[in-house]
A and B are shown apart, each in its own frame.
Chain A
Amino acid sequence: MPRIESPEELVKVREEILSRRDPNKPCISICAGSGCLASGAGEVIEAFKKEIEAQGLTAEVDTKGTGCPGFCQRGPVVVIYPEEICYLGVKPEDVPEIVSQTIKEKKVVERLLYEDPATGEKATLESEIPFYKYQERINISTNIKLDPQSLEDYLAIGGYSALAKSLFEMTPESVLEEVKKSNLRGRGGAGFPAGIKWEGSRNAPDPVKYVLVNADEGDPGAFMDRALLEGNPHSILEGLAIGAYAIGAHEGYIYVRQEYPLAVKNVSIAIKEAEEYGFLGKNILGSGFDFVVKVHQGAGAFVCGESTALMTALEGRAGEPRPKYIRSNIKGLWEKPTVLNNVETWANVPLIINKGADWFTQLGTEGSKGTKIFSLVGKINNTGLVEVPMGMTLRDIIYKIGGGIPGGKKFKAVQTGGPSGGCLPEELLDLPVGFDELTKAGSMMGSGGMIVLDEDTCMVDVARYFLNFLTDESCGKCVPCREGIRQMLKILTNITQGKGKEGDIELLEELAEVTQVAALCALGKSAPNPVLSTLKYFREEYEAHIKEKRCPAFSCKELIAFYIDPDKCGACTACSRKCPSEAIIGGKNKIHIIDQEKCTKCGTCFEVCPPRFAAVKKISGEPVPPPIPEEARTITRGGKS
């Protein structure tokens, strides 16, 4: 493909691509994102290719592996166009039936459709499934339509038209104005307005400037940036090039963690193709504007998601944060003005340029415009990525889209904002989700992780979990973060192990306050959030651990025991066969007893005990009843003699 030299040529190339494509030709899109690949999408794609060939349909049907549409819970996800029929949990053995029924006969395979767990009603189309119905998918809906490794696919849906518009119909100033007007706030955590950040760099006197993509998505349980980078890498490149034009940068970097190999691969292919077509490199689309992009792989350090640490890492050094006396948009990478935005922020830029700031500001709330992608995970029926307008309530996200809590359990809290965020209780379920609203409630937006916790989750343990994570990830440069988090972790660990004492809570609060005020970077300053928010909303759980040595969620190993109720045990031997520690004394027709000395409290017995007996109990805060004597253990079954 020769380079495209003008916006007119781009239009022609697009028309030519579309003229070769028949909108009525069946296309089988299979999610090839990391989540679906883990559930076997690779084999499904292979099976489709083989079956299409075997049936002699290669010329009549397109098959493609695409980016992630978000419904990870029910992967591998397959969507068949032009009808948009959505099949879930597809296995290779389902493929011949799909091809012969849906592709050839135009009949729907009922058993692979979404079925509403409450009503039993089936949904044929993607847009009818409740998980998708309540979303506003301005970014992520494109993923299932694209082969991420095909620039043609991106051009076919209007790709790079926003870049052409910026370069030929707008000045850098007017691009900047549009982004400012849209009030697009950074999707990476702090929510700083992107336009204002850009303006600072544009006005900085140094002629050499940089634009960076922060794809060092390290929050556990958050993977929306990966989905965008894997699924639609050109949209990020296009946004980045527009930003570069607006601030006057000619070089950009994508800092992506090496734990995301597919994202690295797809974005590298995208850069190469974009250079060949003339969307990146010298004299882009004949405009005279030059811009190159390079990929830098992170080597596994959470703190590198922090802006100054990321820049230090890009320079080839250990990624430690620097003090921000001068902001990095004035003095950043190699001491040059540098704009760093998150993947999702950049992805929104082409949309804003194409559709206008007025369109963008219609979505969302007063302070938070547009949409936000959340990764809805944990104790939730529909795990996956959800894109909703800012201002939707937590309740709608968790119940309408997420389908509520599995196994009839009770909702306890939702943790937002990653390790630096907080836990919000049931009383706050009607909170509209936005940057300022979440911060006010003691949590934060963060990059968009949303982890649902149910009655079995111990809130002290959740706080301990995050502080353990942050102790590991603290770079160690400043004392308040390095020592403050470590000491808080020590106290929390003691509490979960039943060694908590009076005064621990007060000491935690004191340490939290000092760390918040005195730490160097955002990692340390926000590290106490998990402790403070759980103390604010779940103080009684801390007190139960300390005063009664009881874990109300029956989760902290040192504070619980498993016990088989002799009156209920049916001697089915399920638990004694499955116990990995051989800690259950039983036998045929014998009431089973747990040897408390050997028990590792893994909970296997509790899970395998058939519901008709439900004999295994969790005990906390009280002594385990002594085992019944040997001679009383034999069960004499009635009605058999």
Chain B
Amino acid sequence: MDMERVDQIIEKHNSEPSSLIQILLDIQSENRWLPKEALERISEKLQVPLTRIQQIATFYKAFSLVPKGRHGIHICMGTACHVRGAQRVLDTVEELTGIKPGETDADLKFSLETVNCLGCCALGPVMEIDGEIHGNMTPAETAETLKKYE
């Protein structure tokens, strides 16, 4: 990631140490992960020890310290989706992509995550890919949907 862009984001938050989480969120959303150089830069600019940044980057689920795939798959494991068969959807995705939640495949095509609730309970079980919601998923439909992504 371009360090100038990191500096701009830090500037936007007035280099405030209490805005650390907001700065990391901005970088995460632009770059899809947090490269080590960016964290070192933040540490230097905000005068916050790198260990504390690491603690935050590993404590919160929104952050990733490794590169992510081109397509982010989020399987909703909320209660409503769970009782409507979310596990079957997850099992199907795991089988077809060969990755487990939290992992990215070798050619950086898919990253798989589970989330606790997307709040579209009427459509459960729900799978979200790159922000697009796919509702009422069955194992067969899950397989069909995944095929559409290159």
Please give the residue numbers on chain A whose beta carbons come within 8 Å of chain B beta carbons, in ascending order: 34-35, 38-39, 72-73, 75, 218-223, 226, 258-260, 296-302, 313-319, 375, 377-379, 383-384, 415, 449, 451, 453, 457, 462, 465-466, 469, 475, 578, 580, 600, 602-604, 607
- Within B60-118, the residues touching A (CB, 8 Å) are 60-63, 77-80, 82-85, 88, 91-92, 95, 115-118
Tell me if A297 and B92 are in contact (CB < 8 A): no
Q: Are A301 and B61 in contact (CB under 8 A)?
A: yes
* Pairs A–B under 8 Å by Cβ, sample size 6: A38-B118, A300-B61, A300-B62, A318-B59, A449-B79, A465-B82
B88→A39 contact, CB < 8 A: no
A302: which B residues are within 8 A, CB to CB?
Answer: 116
Partner of B18, one of A297, A315, A318, A449: A315
Docked-complex contact B92 and A580, CB < 8 angstroms: yes
Q: How many A-B residue pairs have CB under 8 A?
A: 135
The docked-state distance in angstroms from the alpha carbon of A316 to that of B24 is: 11
A35 touches B120 (CB 8 A): yes
Partner of A73, one of B19, B25, B122, B143: B122
Q: Which residue of A lies closest to B131 (CB)?
A: A261
- Choose from B17, B62, B78, B123 the contact partner of A221 (Cβ within 8 Å): B78
Contact A602 B92 (CB under 8 A): yes
A462 to B63, CA, bound (A): 29
How many Å lie between the Cα of A299 and that of B126 in the bound state? 21
Pick from B17, B95, B133: contact of A316, CB under 8 Å: B17
* A602:B63 contact, CB within 8 angstroms: no
- The yes or no answer to B20 lying at the interface (CB within 8 A) is yes
Closest residue on chain B to residue A257 by CB atoms: B62
* Contacting pair B80 A221 (CB below 8 A): yes
Establish whether residues B80 and A226, one from each chain, have CB atoms under 8 Å apart when the complex forms.
Answer: no
B12 contacts the other chain (CB 8 A): no
Q: Bound complex: CA of A203 vs CA of B82, how far in Å?
A: 46
Q: With A38-B133, A300-B62 in contact, do A378 and B139 touch (Cβ < 8 Å)?
A: no
Residues of chain B at the chain A interface (Cβ within 8 Å) = 16-22, 24-25, 52, 55-56, 59-63, 77-80, 82-85, 88, 91-92, 95, 115-124, 126, 133, 135, 138-140, 143
A378 to B79, CA, bound (A): 7
A580-B143 contact given A35-B120, A221-B79, CB 8 Å threshold:
yes
In the bound assembly, the distance between CA atoms of A584 and B133 in angstroms comes to 31
Question: Known contacts being A316-B18, A383-B121, is A415 close to B60, with CB within 8 Å?
Answer: no
B79 touches A72 (CB 8 A): no
B139 proximity list for chain A (CB < 8 A): 580, 602, 604
Known: A34-B119, A297-B25, A383-B122. A220 touches B52 (CB 8 A): no
Q: Known: A296-B22, A318-B55, A378-B84. Is A223-B121 also a contact (CB below 8 A)? A: yes
| CB–CB A258/B62 < 8 A | yes
The one of A220, A226, A299, A465 that contacts B63, using a Cβ cutoff of 8 Å: A299
With the chains together, A316 CA to B83 CA distance in Å? Answer: 36
Complex partner residue of A39 from B18, B24, B123, CB under 8 angstroms: B123
Supposing A316-B17, A602-B88 touch, asked if A72 and B116 sit within 8 A by C-beta, the answer is no
Residues of B within 8 Å of A379, CB to CB, are 83-84
- Report the bound CA distance from A38 to B128 in whole Å: 10
Q: In the assembly, what is the distance between CA of A604 and CA of B91, in Å? A: 13
> Of B16, B60, B115, which is within 8 A of A301 by CB?
B60
Among candidates A298, A315, A383, residue contacting B80 with C-beta atoms closer than 8 Å: A383
- Give the residue name and chain of the A residue nearest to B77 (CB): A220
Answer whether A301 and B59 are a contact pair too, CB < 8 Å, given A377-B79, A602-B91: yes
Contact of A35 among B78, B116, B119, B143 (CB under 8 A): B119
| A-chain residues with CB within 8 Å of residue B55 when the two chains form the complex | 318
Which residues on the B side are within 8 Å of A580 (C-beta)?
92, 95, 139-140, 143
Q: A466: which B residues are within 8 A, CB to CB?
A: 79
Decide if B21 touches A313 in the complex (CB within 8 Å): yes
Cα distance A259–B123 in the bound complex, in angstroms: 17
Chain B residue with Cβ nearest A466: B79
B56–A603 contact, CB under 8 A?
no
Query: Is B20 a contact of A578 with CB atoms below 8 Å?
Result: no
5 smallest CB-CB distances across A and B, nearest first, come from A300-B61, A220-B78, A299-B60, A223-B119, A377-B121
- Asked if A221 and B59 sit within 8 Å, CB to CB, the answer is no
C-alpha gap A453/B59 in the complex (Å): 33
Residues on the B chain within 8 Å of A34, using CB: 118-120
CA distance A314 to B59 in the complex (A): 14
- Name which residue of chain B comes closest to A35, CB basis: B120
Closest CB in chain B relative to A223 CB, distance in Å: 4
Known: A259-B115, A603-B88. A451 touches B80 (CB 8 A): yes
Residue ID in chain B nearest A226 by CB atoms? B119
* Best-surrounded residue of A315, A318, A600, A604 (most CB of chain B within 10 A): A318
* A299–B27 alpha-carbon span in the complex (Å): 12
**A314 surroundings in chain B (CB, below 8 A):** 18
Q: What 10 new A-B contacts, CB under 8 Å, besides A38-B118, A300-B62, A602-B91?
A: A72-B120, A221-B117, A259-B118, A297-B22, A317-B52, A318-B55, A378-B84, A451-B79, A578-B140, A607-B138
Contact of B122 among A72, A453, A465 (CB under 8 A): A72
Interface residue from B83, B116, B138 paired with A604 (Cβ < 8 Å): B138
Q: Chain B residues with Cβ under 8 A from A221's Cβ?
A: 78-80, 117, 121
- Residues of B within 8 Å of A260, CB to CB, are 119
Rounded to whole angstroms, the CA-CA distance of A522 and B119 in the bound complex is 23
What's the Cα separation between A297 and B26 when bound, in Å?
10
Query: Which residues on A sit within 8 Å (CB–CB) of B85?
Result: 603
Q: Is the CB of B120 within 8 A of A375?
A: no
The distance in angstroms between the C-alpha atoms of A298 and B122, with both chains bound, is 25
Q: Are B21 and A38 in contact (CB under 8 A)?
A: no
Which residue of A is nearest B22, CB measured? A297
Give the distance in Å from the alpha carbon of A72 to the alpha carbon of B121 in the complex: 8
- A415 partner, pick from B22, B79, B133, beta carbons under 8 A: B79
**Closest residue of A by beta carbon distance from B92:** A580
Residues of A within 8 A of B116 (CB): 218, 220, 302, 469
A453 to B79, CA, bound (A): 10
Q: Which A residues are CB-close (under 8 A) to B117?
A: 218-223
